[in-house]
Each structure stands twice: as C-alpha cells, then as structure tokens.
Structure 1
C-alpha cells in the first residue's frame, strides 16, 4: 500500500476519559460509520487495552485516574514500554507543566473548549501521518521476510498487478508468522507431524491454518498478537481472492478494486498490529564470548532490505549458534533454523531464504529425508537444491 493511498479499512480509535458521556459525545463529532470507536475510563484500563489490542489512535484526556494526571501517566507508560501508539491529548489547562510534557509525548494536542471545532480535523491529520509512518515502518523495520515483499508492492502498477503483488505480500506475512509459530512450539517439545500436511503445497490459506492450529500453544504474547492478526475473519477474504486469481484464472468475484481494498485493508491491519506491539525482530547470531556468567554475542538485525548495519551487542543466558537466525522478543530468542537462513557478513548485505514447503520423495508419502524448499527473498527464486531435510525441521538440529 503506497503512502498516498487512502486507508482501505475503518480506523480504530480509543477514547480515554473518566467521563464516559463526554467521550461518547466527542466520538459523535466524527463522520458516522467512518471509524470504529472504543472507550476506556482511566489510564490503567487504557494501558491494558492498548497493550493487548491494535488501535490507530488514542484520544487521551489528561485529568483522570490514576492520580490527578492519569493521561500523562498513560503517555509515560506507553513511551517507557516502547509501544508506538499514536496519541492525541485533550486538556483544559494549557499552561501547566504536566500539559507541556504531554504535548511533547503526544502526536497532537487540542484544548477542550475547541474540541467541537478542531477535533475531527486533528484526528484526520494524525491518522494520515500514522498511515505514512506505518508504510515507512513496514518497509524499513519489519523483519526482512515481510519487508522485502512489502517494498516490491510499493511500485506503481495496474490494478491486476497491484492485487497480485499484495497477495504475495499477504502470503509472506502469513508464512513468516506460521514459521515463527512452528519454531516457538518446537522449543517446547516435538512438533506435531500432522502440521506437515499443510507444508507440501503451502499458500496463504495453509499458512493461516498452521497459525490457527498452533496459536493456542504459543506463549510469547507479542507473537500471539501477530498470529492473531493472520487469523482474523478479514483475512479469510484474502484466501478467497487468492483462490480466484490463482486457481480461477480471472478477475476475483468482487472485482479488482474491491479485492485490492480487502487485501490492503488486512495488510494495513497487520502492520498496525506489529507497529503498536512490543518489538519482534529477526537477528543473526555473530561472534560470542563467555563472560563468566553470561554470553556476550553480536547480533545483526534482519529488517527491511537486510542491509548490514553495526551489530548490536547483547548478553544471553544460553549460547546462540553463530550464523543462525533467531526470533527475538521480550521473551528471549527462538531458533528459526532451518526455516529461515541468512548468508552475509557484517560489512555487506544479507541473503535471506525462507522455507516454502518440502519436496516429497514419494508422492503422497512423507519422509524425514524429504528436502526442504526455499524462497530466496532477494530474487524471488525457488530453491530446491538446499541440503536441509524435513527431519531437521522436526528436531531443530542437524542430523
């Protein structure tokens, strides 16, 4: 979705005010049916919702619980937790030091006595900037297996080509979340081999099904939010449009424009979910040294186009395998090998490959010696010559 295109879904706004009637009145200033409005009665309730759900914007009153300046407390908490949620502050006290700090932390500010006139336009302005920020975030900060297809989607094309590119990006999102779920579950114990039936000829629908099946077992809260975004009802339309285009051989039932709006709307929802969550990153483990109590390791971040930058030094309790790709979150490091592979050097760019099924040696039969198939994210080429086998995926270690 280009930065200039309109948001193809209804934005979600959280109004945070201890006076619910005031918050409801403010929400009615917006065009009817154009937004999905929700409410929280104090800063703590808002923080709970904003930590667990995706919102395009939070409209925050400063004077409310907890304490006297609960709105400022909320803004501080969002900042300290690294939650990149766009906020607009309402206040009737423009000269207070607390108000000045809130103006620094928030994305915009409206005096309460001018809200009836200024609030709708200010909300639209913040949402427009937020959409541009999401596009930049998707291209430059999302993990490379998602960011590279997203970058290619930005090239201006005719409607049919745009839809096909957006469907490929949607599949890349679902595939990454499914592979992350498989990797996370594998750390807890043996992987259910029935999952493999979906990997012979994977597509958006099969990756989505893997996400649905594994979601109840995933413990990492951030990864759960990403997987939930793949499983929402709106994503089912993506499956239908893909089947229409790929298997039907013609225009989707809802037409090119309608289908494109559905796919872009879901992609925008996923990017919003990722941007407003605690960061989830792909990293490559580099040189490592034991410090006596922990291991100090250099980590290269695989984000955007996977162009190498200075590695990040981190201390880990258990050693990482040099050269392997890990999913990093607040919960620790999940080994993605051999589902995601990266070749490169600290001074160059990375070549990243992701699993896209496996090659059965015998039709209809699955063997641990079946070869994994990969997609080279730099070229889009399919790689069936890799030496990695299905048994390595199941065990998480080399044979």
Structure 2
C-alpha cells in the first residue's frame, strides 16, 4: 500500500459530485480519507477545520462562475499553504494558469484524472512532507520550530527518536495550552479525564488528555480546533499518539531502545504533522510591545516568534488590543486571542506553563508558585515572579475535581 496516500486526508471540491467521486476513487482505494464538497465556500469551511494534507479543486464551481479561483484567493489572503491540485475541465485552461499563479502545485485534466490522479497526488504529498520539517523549523511558531529543528538535524537514530518523542510532547503541550488560553474562565471546564492535580504536575499523557478533552467542545475553525485537527485529525492518529506515550514511558522506565519500525512510524507521523501545521495553521505567536490609536483602531507593535532565529518586529490592527507584554495569537484578520496566563513573556523568550511547585517558607506558611519552561533553550523551572501567572488563575479552567 502507498505509504504516502495511506491515511492521507484529501479534500475534493467539485460541483459535479458524482464525477468527482469516480475520479477520486483510486485515492480511496489506496487508503486515503477523501472528503467531497460541491462549492468553494464549503471547501473554505473544511480547510478552516484543519487536518487536510491536500486539496483537489475544480475551477468552475460556485460561488460565481469560477469558485475554485475564488477559494484559492481566499486561501492566499489568509496565509494558508495547503497544497492544491487543480482538476482542469475543458474550457478552463486560462483559469488553470491563474490557479497556478495563485500557488496551485499541479493540475490534472479531468479526462486523464482516473488514471493519473493517484500518481500525481502521491508525488505532491511526498514532496510536501519531505520538506515539512525544514519548513516548520524555518517559519513555524518558535516553540515548535526548535523541537522539530532539533529532530531534523540529529544524526544518531536512537537520539533522533528521543528528540522525536520530545517534539511530539512539545506539540501536544503547545496545542493544549493554546486551547486552555482560548477559553475564558466563564466558558471553562470541566476538563473530562483531567484533574487539577494532574494539571499541576503535567505529564506527556496529561497534555494529550487536555488536548482530547478540549477538542470535543472546540468551535470548528478556531485557532485551537484547526491546530488540534492538524495534530490528530482521526482515530488512527489518536491511537498512534497513545502508542508514542507508552513507548516514551517504556523507554524512560524500562530502559529499552526503539525499534526500526517504531522510528519509521514516528518519522512518518512527525513529517505529516509538520506538513499539516505548516500548510494549515496560519496563526502567529507574537508578544505585544507598544500601541498607538488613530481614533478608530489601535496599531499594535509586536515581536513575532517564528522559526529558529531571533524574534522579528511585526504589527497588527485591533479594535480592543491586549495589554502590553501579552503573548498573543494573530491571524490574517488581526488579533485572535491572548495566550496568558498559560504562556508568559520573559524578555525575548516565550515561556510555557510547566509545573506547580509548593514552596514552604516556614512551619506555618507556604505558597504555591507556577514554574514555566523555555522549550527553545530547554530551560525548566523558571519562576516568572509574583506579578505573573498564578495557580489560582490557571486552576479556574479545571473544575472536574475539588483538589
């Protein structure tokens, strides 16, 4: 079975539904999960849900006469990088050329699609996934870029597997914290299957449980839902993640080494995950620095944390901006959400919530402090100070137990 197409998630948009289903049947027979929609607006909604590896688009469909071109323009404007293969019908050559200029990576004539689509889609996916680790390390959120970058450059296969499992854990933690920060205290909880005690000292499995719990109630198309679907778009991927957690625990506590099969499966997952995040999650992690008001809206000056280098200056427009020094998600339409108190700004580093620690001052007094980590530099146990995040603020999100 084709390892690239097997379990790939492919979106097909064509108003000739029966024709599209027939043409894409070879992909399904190779193990791909194929979702069909009949116009560009439905396709855009599906892309925003996240978790797709590739899109096949007919140019001549609603909305308007050339809904495929409309969709590609929408994707470009919003920063999506999902690979697109054009299904070209008779009379649509000029539109096909326009689609290629808008970023389509290939085109297939409908008359040849039944025989050619499998090979062409396989090639596009192979090329996309081969470059995914480097692409995410170059332009993805720095908190993920460093983890995937370390995996990519590690030569020893056993050490690389260790870095790969660490990259999976960092990805789950990043997504879980984005999900927690995306909920207001009024909307929060309970987190099914996660207690406050577990969240206070989170493990690899805790992050996965938080992600799973939040995903069940996430708004489709939100920054968190799209990220969650990019990481674990289906049941087989969720099952694989449970296997990685068990493997990590067995290695940590049992001293065994990874097998060739385990390393191969881990590598395939990391490349697919990196591809879906790079191609299908167009939000940016930034820290606000200053702002100015023009009488109608605010211009917010920021530092953008992307790739492996130093943060770069950026800006966005907002009606109601976050306070200076906040860690924020920014999308194509500007400010999306504030990530505090789960992420904190420490100068030129973004810190992630790590653990809660009891600090006893004397025999009668004690306090609880929140410790953070810097996944970019691998520093752990960083205290952001009394004025930063507190466990009382964070525990508001978890109401499933009284601990």
TM > 0.5:
yes
TM-score category (smaller protein):
0.7 to 0.9
Structure 2 residue aligned with 1:77, among 74, 99, 109?
A: 74
Partner of 2:8: 11
Distance in 2, Cα, partners of 1:75 & 1:385: 45
Distance 1:78 1:333, change over 3 A: closer
Structure 2 residue aligned with 1:35, among 7, 17, 32?
A: 32
Secondary structure in 2 aligned to 1:264?
A: helix
Distance in 1, Cα, partners of 2:167 & 2:173: 10
Distance 1:260 1:76, change over 3 A: same
Q: Quick check: 1:190–1:394 contact (8 Å CA) kept in 2?
A: no
Structure 2 residue aligned with 1:298, among 278, 297, 301?
A: 301
Q: Quick check: 2:288–2:300 contact (8 Å CA) kept in 1?
A: yes
Shift in Å, 1:169: 0.6
Q: Quick check: 2:130–2:271 contact (8 Å CA) kept in 1?
A: no
Partner of 1:98: 95
Q: Quick check: 1:42–1:70 contact (8 Å CA) kept in 2?
A: yes
Distance 1:190 1:94, change over 3 A: closer
Shift in Å, 1:359: 1.4
Shift in Å, 1:356: 1.2
**Which ranges in structure 1 are unaligned for 5 or more consecutive residues?**
1-5, 345-349
Q: Which moved more, 1:279-288 or 1:118-127?
A: 118-127
Distance in 2, Cα, partners of 1:384 & 1:65: 53
Distance 1:256 1:217, change over 3 A: same
**Which ranges in structure 2 are unaligned for 5 or more consecutive residues?**
233-237, 395-403
Distance in 2, Cα, partners of 1:9 & 1:117: 18
Partner of 1:347: none
Structure 1 residue aligned with 2:248, among 238, 242, 251?
A: 242
Partner of 1:168: 166
Shift in Å, 1:123: 1.9
Partner of 1:353: 351
Partner of 1:328: 330
Shift in Å, 1:139: 0.6
Q: What per-residue deviation string (whole Å, max 9, x for no partner) do you get for residues 82-125 of structure 1? A: 33221111224367432331232321122334435543332223
Q: Quick check: 1:93–1:99 contact (8 Å CA) kept in 2?
A: no
Q: How many residues align?
A: 378
Q: Give the alignment's TM-score, normalised by structure 1.
A: 0.81
Q: Quick check: 1:370–1:389 contact (8 Å CA) kept in 2?
A: no
Q: Quick check: 1:358–1:390 contact (8 Å CA) kept in 2?
A: no
Q: Quick check: 2:128–2:275 contact (8 Å CA) kept in 1?
A: no
Shift in Å, 1:133: 4.6
Partner of 2:274: 271
Partner of 2:53: 56
Shift in Å, 1:146: 1.3
Show the 5 A alignment for 1:101-180: 101-105=98-102, 106-116=104-114, 118-180=116-178
Q: Give the alignment's TM-score, normalised by structure 2.
A: 0.80
Shift in Å, 1:155: 1.6
Shift in Å, 1:28: 4.0
Partner of 1:221: 222
Structure 2 residue aligned with 1:395, among 390, 393, 396?
A: 393
Secondary structure in 2 aligned to 1:360?
A: strand
Distance 1:337 1:140, change over 3 A: same
Distance in 1, Cα, partners of 2:251 & 2:185: 37
Q: What per-residue deviation string (whole Å, max 9, x for no partner) do you get for residues 45-103 of structure 1? A: 33332332422222223334444434333333333443322111122436743233123
Q: Which moved more, 1:202-211 or 1:80-89?
A: 80-89
Distance 1:51 1:304, change over 3 A: same
Distance in 2, Cα, partners of 1:25 & 1:256: 40
Superposition RMSD in Å? 3.3
